[in-house]
Amino acid sequence: MSIDLSYRPEVVDLVDRARRFIADVVLPVENRHAGDVEAAGGDDLRRELNAQAKQAGIFAPHAPVEFGGLGLNMSDRAPVFEAAGRSTFGPVALHLGAPDEGNVHMLAHIATDAQKQKYLAPLAAGDVRSAFAMTEPAPGAGADPNALNTLAQKVPGGWKINGLKRFITGADGAGFFIIMARTAGEPGDRGGATMFLAPAEAAGIEVQRYVHTYDRGMIGGHCEVRFTDVFVPDEDVLGEPDQGYRYAQVRLGPARMTHVMRWMGIAVRAHDLALDYVSTRQGFGGRIGDLGMIQQMVADNEIDIAGARALLVRACWELDQGEHASDSTSIAKTFAAEAYSRVLDRCMQMCGGLGVSEDLPLARLANEVRPFRIYDGPSEVHRWALARRAVGRARKNTEAGIVHV
């Protein structure tokens, strides 16, 4: 069995161009506005940066070629997304940020031809943004999707949706919503969900408020959205009724990995900044980078980044093989989310007072990566799922007479 971890020349070239674009065009804007994408111009900035990314030939590397993207598979996306993620504005600039990137991926795999023309085409082109509406206030769906409370009732010609969603990223200004609603069973029951496509201007959709969080890199906020008698025609049901959770897996596993890719860029940027500092800062008779305790932090950063990258590569390979990759994506997501927080914390510590000041971006970058331990499934939920599956496999082996000695 041969293992080739190299990238094709065209991918290497794409990564190099993305890095230069981020360094020359995007990072200056991010730093000028202290990482606040809304203060920097929001959608106006997005459209401006998207136009420049298209001109540079690096726009939407994940989107299908027939819809204007570069059609990269999961493995080839990793270094490109990392390069974009070096700036918190980078995913917006290259149109590969959440939730649009995940929605492009899901629509490309599930939508009908008519739905692709109506929703995927303008989304892939960057003409509109989108939102994925699943999470709800307690006691509704959150880390436990089976608690889904939002209801869709069958009516002549379509469905009517009622419910309240919360933490819906990008909702303010989105062109359309993908809405997860219950069409069978009761809250707490396994299954029974359906996904619906609805234009943002549809009657009954109301973005009620921003839920303010301390990350500032996503356009459209994390919002609370009310759906009141929202009519969705049958042709805008995404996939089959009652199969929403199964279809959502098409999005969730890859989306977790693209988060790992993007936030990898932040972790590497922070590590580079800290290395620059400790390699020149004088103290205690020499450069502080020569002190043992500083070197231990540097080494631990190198280990955390390398570990996250190795787990990411494995999970992406499995996804590219058509595997479900539940374990690999949970492992990579959980390790990376926690590793990046450790990296940022060490970087701030190595840089002393500058690390917690606005003279360096480290403190605000730490605020960007910390929510990753919650977004796309809290670490604890992924650990629970991993353990449950491992115990289940062991039980089946025991019942089959397979005993390890």
Query: pLDDT 10s per residue in the chain (405 long)?
Result: 567 889 999 999 999 999 999 999 999 999 999 999 999 999 999 999 999 999 999 999 999 999 999 999 999 999 999 999 999 999 999 999 999 999 999 999 999 999 999 999 999 999 999 999 999 999 999 999 999 999 999 999 999 999 999 999 999 999 999 999 999 999 999 899 999 999 999 999 999 999 999 998 889 999 999 999 999 999 999 999 999 999 888 988 999 999 999 999 999 999 999 999 999 999 999 999 999 999 999 999 999 999 999 999 999 999 999 999 999 999 999 999 999 999 999 999 999 999 999 999 999 999 999 999 999 999 999 999 999 999 999 999 999 998 787
Is residue 120 included in any domain, yes or no?
A: no
For residues 224 and 261, state if they share a domain: no
Is residue 196 included in any domain, yes or no?
A: yes
For residues 169 and 203, state if they share a domain: yes
Is residue 103 included in any domain, yes or no?
A: no
Is residue 332 included in any domain, yes or no?
A: yes
Is residue 2 included in any domain, yes or no?
A: no
- CATH number, domain at 44? 1.10.540.10
For residues 296 and 383, state if they share a domain: yes
- CATH number, domain at 206? 2.40.110.10
Is residue 301 included in any domain, yes or no?
A: yes
For residues 222 and 267, state if they share a domain: no
For residues 264 and 379, state if they share a domain: yes
For residues 320 and 338, state if they share a domain: yes
Predicted model pTM = 0.96
Cα–Cα distances in Å, from 83 out to 27, 74, 87, 217? 12, 15, 8, 16
CA 328/CA 30 separation, integer angstroms: 33
Domain range for residue 295? 246-399
Is residue 295 included in any domain, yes or no?
A: yes
For residues 257 and 394, state if they share a domain: yes
CA 79/CA 82 separation, integer angstroms: 5
Is residue 119 included in any domain, yes or no?
A: no
For residues 224 and 140, state if they share a domain: yes
